[in-house]
Structure formats: structure tokens, C-alpha cells
Amino acid sequence: MLSYKLDEEHEELRKTVEEFARDAVAPVIGDLYERGEFPYDIVAQMGRMGLFGLPVPEEYGGMGGDYFALCLALEELARVDSSVAITVEAGVGLGVMPLFRFGSEEQKRQWLPALCAGEKLSAFGLTEPGGGTDVAGAMKTRARLEDGEWVIDGSKAFITNSGTSITALVGVAAVTGTRPDGKPEISTILVPSGTPGFTVAPKYSKVGWSCSDTHELSFDNCRVPEANLLGERGRGYAQFLRTLDEGRVAIAALSTGLAQGCVDESLAYVRDRRAFGGVIGRFQALQFKIADMEVRAHNARLAWWHAAAKMAAGEPFKKEAAIAKLTASNAAMDNARDATQIFGGYGFMNEYAVGRFYRDAKILEVGEGTSEVQRMLIARELGLDA
């Protein structure tokens, strides 16, 4: 019989991150969010806790845990703030994991210890200004071999963790040739921060995730050693497909955390807010709304747990990852809207967490593959591919 109870180790981690989010993140994040500041102190604390190295073996500076542990941490962080949670998700899922899964032994020894410690961050340069969902077909960034160096030209958009003072490198997906079938050959090349020809644009002005770091990147005759190729030449497309499948489970966990945070904040509010002679939590209309919110968060959690379990077991999980991401991002958006409605005018004020939740929720239906893409993937896995 299946058990939905966390084992002792995972439960201890969950409680530790829950306490950290409540005691260390919640008191300061609102002010940082208002100013749009990257939370360096919080990142350093999370690094010392080992959150950036959770799924990485100890020999590379990690905690020797698993991807499920990472997702548990993301859910608990996102119950308080999604900017902090996405910093960890991108740092690990898009930065650490490609290096760990596809990097050479030398690359792993060089980069992973500092990344796992949270002392440095790594980014994943995939999306392009004119690409969107059509990543492979619209990719214009090119890299050619010249005198033992990769020469990179092109640009990337919406790249998380790419411009902080502790960003160490970016994995850049680039067209490196043409395959026998005429399609572009895509490879991933590691570009250290500060490399001549690598320019980081000013940070975006975003609707939400105001404490996360996001930039457009450009490469103009940017040269790095041939040894900076990540994995095999021409395997970049397969690499980022694997990375995105895993990332969808992580984003589902993060989305679940935001959805649950909306429940937490709403419960506290309706138990304290008084109107018409008593607390507003006695009104059935609000009780039903919060009950529906809890159902959404519960279902989202079951969905990402299932996808994570299949991934941990080494079973195909593409469909389950898409289901989890679609279910959880919908739950986050719906719960954020309902929580804002429950708070009334206060829900529109940034001093309240639900205001941040509402601003942060929408991107969860877009990043790591839009909701439309998730439906397309699910249909394809059901044998409905055209």
C-alpha cells in the first residue's frame, strides 16, 4: 500500500526549511521586494544550510540527497516568498543539475563545490528574445570552433541568476552546426562571468519575482576554451529537454507552495478581521472559498509528489511532470486571485504577502513551458501527436 507520509529525513528537512522561511525570510522579504533587491544574505544562509546542493553527492560538495528533497524545500520557501524559491530552483535545477548530469569530471570538480555551497550561482542560457516556446527552431545564437576555442555570437532573454555579483558562469545553448537530417545541431557551452564579449544587460523591470535576478545576455565574438563544451557536441537539445522535464516538477512544487501560502495567509486573516459584529471567518462564503483553495493546494501537492516519485524511480515521467506543472500553476494563480479577494483592499497593498503572491503567480503559468505547452505534452503522451 502506498504511503503519503514523509520519511523522517525528508520531514526533518521540510520542518527546517519551514522554520527558516518563517523566521529568516518572512520578516525581511517584503522590504527587499519593494526595492527589487537580490537577497544576498538569505542566499548565503540557504547556502550554509546546503539547499543549493541537496540533490548532489557529497563528493562534489553536495548534501547527498535527492530531487524530491529539493522540491520539498522549494514548496516551503514559496509558502513565504517565490523570489527566494525561484533563486534556489534556477540555481539548482538550471545551474547545478546540468553540470552534474552532463559535465566532465574536471568541470564538476571545478564548479560544483562553490555552486552547491551557494557561494556562487550558475545560470542556464536557453530562451532567446525571438524564440519563446520554439526554442530549437528559432535559436539564433551560434558557436563555431576556431583555433581551439568556441566563438559565440547571439543573445539570450529572461535568464535567471545571470547578473548577480556571485554569478560564476552561464551554460549557453548554441547552434554549432547542422545535423544529417538538416536540423540545427545544438550544443551547450559554459561561459564564465566576465569573459570578454559576454555582456549582461540591466535587470528587467518585472511584474513579480522582484527579488530574483533576471537579465538579457549578449555574446559578441565571445571566446572560451574548447573544453568548455558541456557533455557531447550536438547533445544540447537532449540536455535541455531533460533539464526542463525535471524543472517542471520543481516549478510544480514551488507553485504548490505559493498556493498553500495563500491558504495560510487567508486563514490568519479571516480569523482576525472583524466585520458585521464578528470575525469574517464565520461567513460560509469565505469558508467555501478557502476550502476550495485548500483542495487546489492538496491536489497540486499530490501531482508533484507523483511526478517526483516516478523520476526518483527512474521511470518515464514526462507526462506526470506536465500534469504536475499544469495543475500546480493553475492552483497558484487561482488561489492568489481568491486570497486577494478575501483580503479586499488590503490584498492590493504590497505590505501584505498576498499582494506579492498575486504578482508572482502569473509567471508560473508561463515559465518552464506555458500551460498550453503542458497540454500539448500530455496529449502527445496520450498518443494524440499529429
User: Pairing between strand 278-279 and 274-275?
Assistant: antiparallel
Contact by Cβ (8 Å): 88, 80:
no
Q: Are residues 185 and 73 both part of a single domain?
A: no
Choose among 247, 285, 281: nearest CA to 265: 281
Retrieve residue 68's grid coordinates: 524530491
Confidence band of 1 (pLDDT split at 50, 70, 90): very low
Q: Are residues 139 and 163 both part of a single domain?
A: yes
Residue 104: CB atoms within 10 A of its CB come to 14
| Residue 332 backbone class (left: φ over 0; alpha: ψ -120 to 50; beta: rest) | alpha
Whether residue 386 is contained in a domain is answered as: no
Q: From CA 230, how far away is CA 213, in angstroms rounded?
A: 24
Q: What is the CATH number of the domain that holds 171?
A: 2.40.110.10
pLDDT, tens digit, 9 for 90 and up, residues 94-123: 999 999 999 999 999 999 999 999 999 999
pLDDT of residue 5: 85
The residues near 352 (Cβ < 8 Å, ≥ 6 apart) are 265, 343, 346
φ, ψ at 317 (rounded to 5°): -140, 15
pLDDT of residue 240: 86
Choose among 365, 360, 354, 363: nearest CA to 264: 354
| CA angle centred on 366, ends 317 and 49, rounded to 5° | 70
137, pLDDT greater than 90: no
Q: Are residues 374 and 251 both part of a single domain?
A: yes
pLDDT, tens digit, 9 for 90 and up, residues 162-176: 999 999 999 999 999
User: Pairing between strand 167-178 and 121-125?
Assistant: parallel
Range of the domain at 204: 123-233
| CA angle centred on 311, ends 305 and 315, rounded to 5° | 125
Q: Are residues 177 and 108 both part of a single domain?
A: no
Retrieve residue 125's grid coordinates: 542560457
Q: What is the CATH number of the domain that holds 320?
A: 1.20.140.10
pLDDT of residue 2: 56
Q: What percentage of the chain exceeds 70 in pLDDT?
A: 99
Q: Are residues 206 and 167 both part of a single domain?
A: yes
User: 367 versus 38: which is more confidently predicted?
Assistant: 38
- Of 49-53, 233-237, 325-329, where does mean pLDDT reach its minimum? 233-237
386, pLDDT greater than 70: no
- Of 132-146, 250-264, 286-300, where does mean pLDDT reach its minimum? 132-146
34 is catalytic: no
**Exposed/middle/buried for residue 128 (C-beta within 10 Å: 0-12, 13-18, 19+):** buried
> Which uninterrupted H or E stretch holds 336?
helix 318-343
Q: Tell me the C-alpha to C-alpha distance, in Å, between residue 298 and each of 294, 332, 334, 335.
A: 6, 11, 13, 12
User: Pairing between strand 229-230 and 167-178?
Assistant: unpaired
Confidence band of 136 (pLDDT split at 50, 70, 90): confident
Average pLDDT over residues 279-297: 97
Q: Are residues 373 and 242 both part of a single domain?
A: yes
Q: From CA 222, how far away is CA 172, in angstroms rounded?
A: 11
pLDDT of residue 130: 82
134, pLDDT greater than 80: no
Total count of domains within the chain: 3
Retrieve residue 264's grid coordinates: 495560510
Maximum pairwise Cα distance, the chain? 80
Whether residue 185 is contained in a domain is answered as: yes
pLDDT, tens digit, 9 for 90 and up, residues 236-286: 988 988 888 999 999 999 999 999 999 999 999 999 999 999 999 999 999
Contact by Cβ (8 Å): 304, 252:
yes
Question: What does the mean pLDDT of the chain come to?
Answer: 95
Domain boundary among 186, 211, 233: 233
Q: Are residues 281 and 327 both part of a single domain?
A: yes
222, pLDDT greater than 60: yes
The residues near 386 (Cβ < 8 Å, ≥ 6 apart) are none
The residues near 94 (Cβ < 8 Å, ≥ 6 apart) are 122, 123, 124, 160, 161, 171, 243, 247
Q: What is the CATH number of the domain that holds 100?
A: 1.10.540.10
Q: Are residues 375 and 254 both part of a single domain?
A: yes
Q: Are residues 73 and 166 both part of a single domain?
A: no
Q: Are residues 348 and 222 both part of a single domain?
A: no
> Which of 75, 216, 368, 372 is the catalytic position?
368
Confidence band of 374 (pLDDT split at 50, 70, 90): very high
The percent of the chain in helix, strand and coil, each rounded to the nearest 5, is 55, 15, 25
Q: Are residues 213 and 299 both part of a single domain?
A: no
Residue 19: CB atoms within 10 A of its CB come to 11
Whether residue 3 is contained in a domain is answered as: no
Retrieve residue 318's grid coordinates: 514526462
Whether residue 338 is contained in a domain is answered as: yes
Whether residue 2 is contained in a domain is answered as: no
The residues near 87 (Cβ < 8 Å, ≥ 6 apart) are 38, 39, 43, 121, 160, 161, 211, 212, 213
CA gyration radius for the chain?
21
Average pLDDT over residues 334-349: 96
